[in-house]
Structure 1
């Protein structure tokens, strides 16, 4: 596969609604999983991430954006008193399944140099809807 080739099997219309009972079970399954070694060491388990429409609209309004891709990440603490923290990053995706982030194309030309990588979500816990069946 070449750098500028479409991502094999990419479906720009991926995603579909699922029934609430299934979603409820999936979130319960996640919450019931044993703690990871990192969580045992102090990393907080994040159950949900919230992004406001302002950021998501900015990302989705980028030229060529057909959807969003979310990446899991971990910010490493530089402070001995703090713990590493799980992060969720969001980027736009073009019709070929490529992230809209700064990169070079196959000819070395700049591509998507103004691409946005979103972070700074509100995390649950502590920003949780305790009345939600998914909590």
Structure 2
């Protein structure tokens, strides 16, 4: 059983790959044609990305669609562990030096593109 688990375990840290500029242009233009008038994308700053990825055990990020307070489509993003599970708690050092848990970083407040 252990052998099967090792063979089928997904490497979440390796998800995603670089694509060519031509492929990226094709993807974006296809979306624009099919979804004319909708927002073209989102902007996300490095600081929050670094904060999420720096959490112990974080190997990647998951993006969920959500609706913000104004009812606009947005992204909610959360770190994931090596098993592909959302990081909802993180280990922290308490003031007395003992270990405890706290909420992991989950984020929103993306920029919309175009402005």
Equivalent residue for 2:82? 95
Structure with bigger helix share is: 2
Equivalent residue for 1:67? 60
1:115 aligns with 2:115: no
Could you tell me how far apart the structure 2 residues matched to 1:90 and 1:21 are? 27
- Gap regions ≥5 residues in structure 1: 1-7, 36-43, 78-83, 103-111, 127-135
Structure with bigger strand share is: 2
Could you tell me how far apart the structure 2 residues matched to 1:13 and 1:113 are? 27
- Gap regions ≥5 residues in structure 2: 1-7, 90-100
Could you tell me how far apart the structure 1 residues matched to 2:46 and 2:69 are? 27
Q: Deviations over 1:79-135 (max 9, x none)?
A: xxxxx2010111101011101124xxxxxxxxx742111100111021xxxxxxxxx
Q: How many residues align?
A: 97
Normalised by the length of structure 2, the TM-score is 0.73
Q: Deviations over 1:21-77 (max 9, x none)?
A: 111011111111146xxxxxxxx7221111111111110111100111111112364
Aligned with 1:62: secondary structure? coil
Taking the TM superposition and a 5 Å limit, the aligned residue runs for 1:1-135 are 10-11=10-11, 12-34=13-35, 45-75=38-68, 77=70, 84-102=71-89, 113-126=102-115
Equivalent residue for 2:93? none
Aligned with 2:112: secondary structure? strand
Normalised by the length of structure 1, the TM-score is 0.63
